[in-house]
């Protein structure tokens, strides 16, 4: 696999102005009480949301530390550590929180060690448990952490705090260094939590998805009538969500944010056995040509009906997880 796809580590900063200070406090509150824009955080009595490594364990404490340790140009840095949900799916659910804590702490500590800052740097982080919004695989568990860093760091050489900065020059690129450290620790921890064959398993899953995608090499199973009256071809098929769970849905051309058109999958129902999902898709697709209307909508509705009823031509096994229906035209 492309190791750049293993884990995302993005860095941002806020300036020491009154407006940015207010935004920073709002952000800290948001991170404390929400796991995403649509999901409130599950608060546990007696359990702090923030893990304190020198920047505080509450909104007020962290905001004060950011102000106390700011530099002339930076009030605070914020870092997001977000591993690939496809890799997270290989980790037993009950171990994922500890996995994320270990990945975050090793990444932050390892990054400052790589920079030669032996004393490290103060930070605090909060763990979020959101669901992925990838339209091809919505609803996957997507744990990630938000890390708060100060604008200055203690220097043994100078005997005082100095500005914390992130250079991206030809001589030294700290952002590239951060990505390298993140990938290294992600791989090392996956070896322990998943096994030494995790990369081979991921590649096998990707190969299976590419094989399933080849259904689009045949004639379309039907057409979707767009709001503009255009007939857009689609292919009924399946896509393996993770090693255990498959989705039945359709492949169709979609435009991305830049207007680029590519063939993408959209699930109609997930949490199915792969063999059964393939049978279901094939049976429904064969019935479409006799209908003149919007084939795609008929395809979706027929799949839902057949999952809820018994049919002689397919015998549904027990779903691998609770079935879910997610469709967005």
Quick one: 184 and 229 in the same domain? no
CA distance 221 to 298: 12
Contact predicate 146/154, CB 8 Å: no
Q: How confident is the model at residue 325 (pLDDT cuts 50, 70, 90)?
A: very low
CA distance 217 to 48: 53
Q: What pLDDT score was predicted for residue 311?
A: 54
Q: How confident is the model at residue 321 (pLDDT cuts 50, 70, 90)?
A: very low
Q: What is the mean pLDDT of residues 85-108?
A: 96
Number of domains in the chain: 2
Q: What pLDDT score was predicted for residue 238?
A: 97
Q: How confident is the model at residue 228 (pLDDT cuts 50, 70, 90)?
A: confident
Q: What pLDDT score was predicted for residue 327?
A: 39
Quick one: 161 and 265 in the same domain? no
Query: Is 63 within a domain?
Result: yes
Quick one: 244 and 181 in the same domain? no
Neighbouring CB atoms inside 10 A of 22's CB total 10
Query: Is 133 within a domain?
Result: yes
Query: Is 173 within a domain?
Result: yes
Instruction: Could you list the beta-strand ranges (E) of the chain.
Output: 7-14, 34-36, 39-40, 50-53, 76-83, 123-131, 141-150, 152-155, 160-163, 222-225, 231-240, 246-255, 261-272, 324-325
| Whether pLDDT at 322 is above 80 | no
- Spell out the residues 6+ positions from residue 29 whose beta carbon is closer than 8 angstroms to its own: 59
Quick one: 169 and 304 in the same domain? no
Quick one: 190 and 251 in the same domain? no
Quick one: 99 and 175 in the same domain? yes
Percent of the chain with pLDDT over 70: 88
Q: What pLDDT score was predicted for residue 288?
A: 76
Q: What is the mean pLDDT of residues 252-261?
A: 88
CA distance 135 to 188: 30
Q: What pLDDT score was predicted for residue 314?
A: 59
Instruction: Give residue-wise pLDDT tens across range 214-227.
Output: 999 999 998 898 88
Percent of the chain with pLDDT over 90: 66
Q: What is the DSSP string of 219-240?
A: --SEEEE-TTS-EEEEEEEEEE
Torsion of Cα atoms, 15 then 76 then 13 then 115, to 10°: 130
Torsion of Cα atoms, 176 then 182 then 188 then 189, to 10°: -170
Q: What is the DSSP string of 197-210?
A: THHHHHHHHHHHHH
| Whether pLDDT at 71 is above 70 | yes
Quick one: 32 and 148 in the same domain? yes
Q: How confident is the model at residue 298 (pLDDT cuts 50, 70, 90)?
A: confident
What are the tokens at 180? 């390298």
Q: What pLDDT score was predicted for residue 44?
A: 56
Q: How confident is the model at residue 326 (pLDDT cuts 50, 70, 90)?
A: very low
Contact predicate 222/234, CB 8 Å: yes
Q: What pLDDT score was predicted for residue 307?
A: 87
Instruction: Give residue-wise pLDDT tens across range 135-189.
Output: 999 999 999 999 999 999 998 888 899 999 998 887 889 999 999 999 999 999 9
99: buried, middle or exposed (CB in 10 Å: 19+, 13-18, 0-12)?
buried
What are the tokens at 298? 């008929």
CA distance 239 to 139: 14
Instruction: Give residue-wise pLDDT tens across range 257-269.
Output: 788 899 999 999 9
293/75: higher pLDDT = 75
Give the end of a domain, one of 196, 231, 248.
196
**Of 226-230, 243-247, 251-255, which range is least confident?**
226-230
Question: For the chain, how many residues are written?
Answer: 329
Name the residue range of residue 282's domain: 217-325
**Of 209-213, 215-219, 313-317, which range is least confident?**
313-317
Q: What pLDDT score was predicted for residue 290?
A: 63
């Amino acid at each position: 696999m492309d190791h750049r796809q293993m884990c995302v580590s993005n860095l941002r900063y806020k300036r020491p102005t009154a407006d940015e200070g207010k935004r920073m406090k709002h952000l800290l509150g948001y991170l404390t009480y929400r796991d995403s824009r649509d999901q409130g955080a599950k608060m546990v009595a007696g359990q702090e949301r923030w893990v304190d490594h020198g920047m505080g364990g509450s909104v007020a404490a962290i905001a004060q530390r950011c102000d106390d340790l700011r530099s002339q140009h930076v009030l605070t840095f914020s870092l997001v550590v977000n591993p690939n949900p496809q890799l997270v799916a290989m980790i037993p659910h009950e171990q994922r929180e500890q996995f994320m804590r270990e990945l975050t702490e090793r990444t932050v500590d390892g990054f400052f060690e790589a920079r030669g800052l032996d004393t490290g740097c103060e930070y605090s982080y909060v763990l979020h448990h959101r669901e992925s919004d990838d339209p091809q695989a919505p609803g996957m568990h997507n744990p990630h952490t938000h890390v708060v860093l100060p604008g200055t760091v203690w220097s043994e050489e100078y005997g005082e705090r100095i500005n914390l900065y992130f250079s991206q020059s030809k001589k030294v690129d700290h952002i590239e260094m951060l990505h390298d450290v993140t990938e290294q620790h992600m791989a090392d921890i996956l070896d322990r939590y998943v096994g030494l064959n995790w990369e081979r398993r991921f590649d096998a899953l990707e190969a299976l998805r590419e094989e399933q995608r080849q259904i689009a090499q045949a004639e379309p199973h039907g057409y979707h009538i767009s709001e503009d009256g255009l007939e857009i071809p689609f292919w009924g098929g399946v896509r393996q969500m993770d090693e255990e769970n498959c989705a039945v849905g359709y492949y169709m051309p979609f435009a991305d944010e830049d207007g680029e058109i590519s063939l993408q999958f959209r699930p109609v129902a997930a949490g199915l056995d792969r063999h059964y999902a393939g049978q279901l898709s094939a049976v429904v697709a064969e019935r479409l040509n006799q209908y003149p209307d919007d084939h795609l909508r008929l395809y979706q509705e027929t799949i839902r009906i057949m999952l809820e009823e018994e049919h002689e031509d397919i015998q549904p096994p027990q779903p691998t997880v609770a079935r879910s229906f997610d469709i967005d035209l």
